[in-house]
Chain A
Amino acid sequence: MSTFAFLGTLEIGFIYGLVAIGVYLTFRVLDFPDLTVDGSFTLGAAVTATLIVLGFNAYLATLAGALAAACAGLVTAWLNLRFNILHLLASILTMTALYTINLRVMGKPNVALIMEPTVLTPFESLGIPNMYLKVLFVAACSIIVGLIVAWFLNTQYGLAMRAVGANTRMAQANGIVVKEKVYVGLALSNGLVGLAGALFAQTNGFADSTMGIGTIVVGLAAVIIGQSMFSSRSMVVIVLSCIIGSLLYRVAVSLALNADFLGFTASDLNLITAVLVGLALIFPQLRNEWKAKRAKGAQQ
């Protein structure tokens, strides 16, 4: 892999690290499988790109993109909590609606940002080559955001949120307002995903109505890969392992792209990626089984 390709892999990995943290919040912390992200990733990108093209400041536009996506999360939470629609179904409804909303926001299926000012523009005068600058910027974004989320999950409020996901009844019995935690959790999660969409659009030069497809799968893969590599109770380690999982997922995709020598063709990419991610998932379990066997052998 060339340096340039490797940096690109890292860049996209860090951006999807934010998605992974968002998916971790809903899927693991709140135990709320949320497919809204397939739509909110695009919503973040669509709002940001449209505002930038209209001449708004890129930072304001990015913030607006993240907030819009957070609102999408609130809608899913509302459908689930207010009307008792199954969480999975509620999120599918929001995701479906978002497809149309995204087209409405952009007014067309694709908004180009090449040559427009972005969040990177203020740093371009520093003289760092663009390919390094992009990676440094998104790495800083995702690590800082990750640390803030880890800190948040360790506050009294965050602990209450974790309690809701771990045992809803117990949490309720301890006087935690469960609904409020779900609203906040889904807004935060989708806000992070929207932020990722906004950054992706700006570093890659376009927002496209199809860009969110498969976001949930990528996010889940990152969370699971990351957590299968590090087992820890520290929130900081857990949240950062989501980012590392995302980076490893992108490396897997890169390897799949370079698999030509094994006789694979361009159309085999999805299968190769699935197998590589699958291996990453299976390996820790096999390792544990071997360890257990060995320990047993040693005892006898």
Chain B
Amino acid sequence: MKLHAVLKTMLLSASLAVSSLHAEPVYVVSTAIVEHPALDAVRDGIKTYLEEHGYAGDKMRFTYESAQGQPAIAAQIARKLVGEQPDVIVAIATPSAQAAVSASQDIPVVFSVVTDPVGAKVVPSLNQPGSNVTGLSDMVNVKQHLALMKEFLPELKRIGIPFNPGEANSVAIVEAMKAAAAEMGIEVIESAAPKSSDVMIAAKQLVGKAEAIYCSTDNTIISAFESVVKVGIDAQIPVFAADTASVERGAVAAVGYDYADLGHQTGELVLRVLQGEKPGDIDVKMAEGTNLFINSKMAQRMGVTIPQSVQQRANKIY
């Protein structure tokens, strides 16, 4: 028995010595529930950040799997990733994060763009989660969004929100918006669009009922965003967005995150884990960064003027 133990220790130390000589590349695996520009930007942002911070070239192996929108596939991917014994699993968006957390007992999981991580039970608490999991929440700052709309339309009384009632992240934002708007005496009018082909009708439902349309980071709405823009132009209702990427596609203005930047912020957390910190000791990070994008052409076509104050502090004007 003793000899066995001694041999084992020797082998172990030998293999450790070898591995430090060759500097094994770190292995980072990532997965997302679907592929779309915002989530892809997050993934690429994480990779770039790690490459810029000492894991360039052959110092890191980085893989990616997409669940093609199917939770059963997300579950299978999570098992596959855990089985590969990577250094970190990066799980992007709620269902992928839940699948990864449920599959992994001790391999560190860093989630990204999960709006309500405690509600989704990915972590027991935001501060010092204590488990093998930490990550980044992208709960949007609805008060800031309301204030921006109010700057454009000081008389604003009713905001229309088209959204998919089947998307957890989106429902959380609508609820937050309702609470924040009520405080300012603004009414929120919901309009449901369960599929991207319903988005046009959902937007039309808001004509005559709302003075502004607000599109949250709802995957269904974003994928058919152009049809909301079209309704906005035809009915002369300004369309605002929660993500800056939508401004180029026709929103009048948006103040929000740049998803590549959210990738960098997630990358910071991944880096800390790779450097040996326990995920459970790292607080869940709330997404930061407010870019203001405006689209002057669209403002004109939707019949609103851009206030001087907004014009002056815009980071980008289309």
Contact = CB atoms under 8 A, between A and B. Distances in A.
A204 B70 contact: no
B78 interface: yes
A171 interface: no
A168 interface: no
Interface stretch (A102-110, A220-228, A284-292): A102-110
Interface string A84-121: 00000000000000010001000011101111100000
Interface stretch (A55-63, A75-83, A232-240, A266-274): A266-274
Contact of B83 (A6, A16, A203, A266): A6
B68 interface: yes
Given A99-B194, A112-B98, A206-B95, A257 B166 contact: no
Contact of A267 (B68, B75, B101): B68
Interface in B41-100: 63-66, 68-73, 75-80, 82-85, 94-95, 98-99
Nearest to B121: A112
A110 B80 contact: no
B173 to A, nearest CB: 12
Given A109-B165, A109-B171, A208 B71 contact: yes
Nearest to A207: B71
Given A9-B76, A110-B94, A4 B65 contact: no
A211 interface: yes
Interface string A243-272: 000000010011001101000001101100
Nearest to B71: A211
Given A112-B120, A114-B102, A12 B83 contact: no
B24 interface: no
Nearest to B65: A266
B210 interface: no
Contact of A254 (B76, B98, B101, B120): B76
B63 A2 contact: no
Contacts of A115: 121, 124
B85 A204 contact: no
B245 interface: no
Given A112-B121, A206-B98, 10 more contacts: A108-B171, A114-B121, A130-B105, A204-B103, A208-B71, A208-B98, A208-B168, A210-B71, A211-B70, A254-B76
Across the A-B interface, the 10 shortest Cβ-Cβ residue pairs: A8-B79, A2-B83, A4-B83, A205-B102, A112-B121, A5-B83, A266-B66, A110-B168, A5-B80, A209-B166
Interface of A: 1-9, 11-12, 16, 99, 103, 108-110, 112-116, 130, 200, 203-206, 208-211, 213-214, 218, 250, 253-254, 257-258, 260, 266-267, 269-270
